[in-house]
Amino acid sequence: MARALAGARVLLDDGFHDDLALVLDDAGRIAALVPDAQARQHAGTVQDLGGGWLLPGFIDAQVNGGGGVLFNNDTSPEAIAAIGRAHRRFGTTGFLPTLISDGAQVMERAIGAVRAAIAAGVPGVLGIHLEGPYLAPARKGTHDAGRFRVPDAAEVAMATALDNGITLVTLAPEQVPADIIRAFVARGAIVAAGHTAATYAQACAGLGAGVRGFTHLYNAMSPLQGREPGVVGAALEHRDSWCGVIVDGVHVHPASLRVALAAKPRGKVFLVTDAMPMVGSDDPSFELYGQAITAVDGVVRNGDGALAGSALDMATAVRNCVQLLGLPLEEAARMAATYPARFLGLEGRTGRIAAGLQADLVLLDQTLQVRETWIGGVSSGA
């Protein structure tokens, strides 16, 4: 007999609906959306959600760590699972473990760990995000510029070796030749510009070579100025590119985020956390490259005082969109789920609540706190 989820406000493509229930099949998909009363009468098992908002599960394309684990420091399937568990508590049902700039051997281990985690069915892992090491020293942030390099054909092949998931590569387009960018794209990678000192012209050339998006817009990139639009100007002007944003009230001023939302076509700006190990952990510190990184009052900095990722989770990012940016909850939810799914090419699988899609879901209470999540129809309480 079918099982159903009922008793919540359900976010569909055209907004929230009351008195609807989700019927789930045995494969973890949404089989149908039916009137609440019909589900209660005919479904074999009905879970009454007791109110709240039922949203598509959040998708985070930039997760460096969580649960006390930094991916760079532990490139294992077990570490990926621990990171996923930590973020699932905050509504994330799909994520890309993110490797900060490192050596080729570490990259190979990380790619192998992601391959193994996906093959083993670790909940939520979608692929890998290689944030560097093909970056600009002038915009390095907390990355180690001593590890930066220009990839050759052999390294492109290594970096795109994941054969059962998504590969997202962040690079500086002024540091990487256009033919190498095209090679990444030809091998199936999604390429984003980030940690870049490119001019506007260089950023546009990168877009022409296949750059699809921009990693943590405004941060670690050349700014918009009157006579030199920089990377930010190229990102805001380009209609087809995507922009990830960190909405924590620290990385970007709310006014700048509102400018981005006004400039870009709707759906082209999505949420990321750039989360570090303290998300889902009581320990505010960790080590990267042998250096202590600490969160103080929720702000993560390295020993030089530079921002070093965030202590942000996706549920908080959604709340911040509502409270700091004045967005409706339904649009904040789409920025956390629907739009990143489209950016990653997963719109036919997840990111929305619709018949035929995977039952990746998050239930928020009246205060927008996470009450329950489902990945492939399996509850976080199971």
Active-site amino acid positions: 274
Q: Which of 170, 184, 176 is nearest to 149 (CA)?
A: 176
Bridge partners, 55 (sequence order): 362
First to last CA, the chain: 19
Kindly state the tokens that stand for 65.
């760590």
372 bridge partner residues: 363
How many helices (H) and strands (E) the chain has is answered by: 11, 23
| Contact in structure between 104 and 111 (CB atoms under 8 Å) | no
Q: What angle do CA 296, 299, 301 make, to 5 degrees?
A: 85
Give how far Cα 76 sits from Cα of 116, 127, 223, Å.
Answer: 9, 14, 37
Hey, what are 126's tokens? 């979608």
Tell me which amino acid residue 368 is: L
Distance of CA 130 to the CA centre of its chain: 13
> In sequence order, which residues have a C-beta less than 8 Å from that of residue 135 and are 6 or more positions away?
101, 143, 145, 148, 170, 171, 172, 175, 194, 195, 196
Tokens 């001019």 belong to residue: 199
- Report the largest interatomic distance among the alpha carbons of the chain, rounded to a whole angstrom: 66
Number of Cβ atoms within 10 Å of the Cβ of 379: 14
Task: Give the helix, strand, coil percentages of the chain, each rounded to 5.
Answer: 30, 30, 45
Per DSSP, the three-state class of 205 is helix
In 3D space, the residue among 128, 325, 345, 347 whose CA is nearest the CA of residue 245 turns out to be 325
Q: How many CB atoms lie within 10 A of CB 239?
A: 8
Structure token digits, residue 315: 């549920």
Q: Which residue has the tokens 């490119």?
A: 198
